[in-house]
Amino acid sequence: MSTELAAVILACNEAENIVPCVESVRWADQVFVILDTRNADDTPALAAQAGAEVITNRFENYAQQRNDALRLVQAEWILFIDADERSSAEQAAEVRATLQHPAHHGYWIPRHNYIFGRLTLHAGWYPDYQMRLLHRGHARYDPLRHVHELVILDGEPGYLTVPFVHFNYRDLRQFRAKQRRYVAFDAHILQQQGIRPRLHKFFTRPLWQFWWRFVALQGYKDGWHGLRLSLLMAWYELQKYVELRRLYRSS
């Protein structure tokens, strides 16, 4: 007989985060850490000591890793949580109540994003819904979306209200490192879609990104913090098209 609900954490070199993350989802029937084979720190030992079952799995991309988790973990429902996220007693109560009479095969969960140590509620970082509560037999991930994974769900999803707490970016250095990875992934996706780096897009896309973040998504309500984030996202929108141009020139 399968477990009703398992919390699943994908992890690689998460020694700093893994124990508080595991502890925050101890309310689930089981907790699994799907460990990337590239891991080189104490994450597996710390996860096991915290009460999680550790499964090592070869990493190809995030969609593959999540699909493998759906295959490897024998539970009716899966709650995916990232190592830099935390659950809560309030979320546990909401999830448990929902699963007593589920109306959907998947549920979107909002996130409270802490960026540079500050809760960020504008510029696109709230509600920041993530589809993380899934019925294992009725959900899978699009294998073509290697990052910013896309859930393919049987039927319409539902929405929960209690957020994860997401410690998103500690500082500017971590922000820049993550955005550089996203730039590379997103540029590849644009190339696969046949989108070309037209000259005007080097101007219009960053401007649109700034306007969208700062004005449409009300980043201005976060003051200097919102202005800085909107400018940074505009800069990395430009870098995405710079990378796209490089891909076309090297192909």
- The mean pLDDT of the chain is 95
Per residue in 32-51, pLDDT (tens digit) is 999 999 999 999 999 999 99
CA–CA gap between residue 172 and residue 174 (Å, rounded): 6
For 111-151, write each residue's pLDDT tens digit: 999 999 999 999 999 999 999 999 999 999 998 877 778 99
pLDDT the model gives residue 56: 96
Span 226-237, average pLDDT: 98
Reported as a single tens digit per residue, the pLDDT across 55-64 is 999 999 899 9
User: Cβ-count burial of 174 within 10 angstroms (0-12 exposed, 13-18 middle, 19+ buried)?
Assistant: middle
Buried b vs exposed e over 107-116: b needs ≥16 C-beta within 10 Å? bbbbbbbbbe
Helix (H) or strand (E) holding 33: strand 30-36
| Domains of the chain, start order | 3-168 (3.90.550.10), 171-250 (no CATH)
Q: Are 121 and 235 in contact (CB under 8 A)?
A: no
Tens digits of per-residue pLDDT, 191-214? 989 999 999 999 999 999 999 999
Neighbouring CB atoms inside 10 A of 46's CB total 20
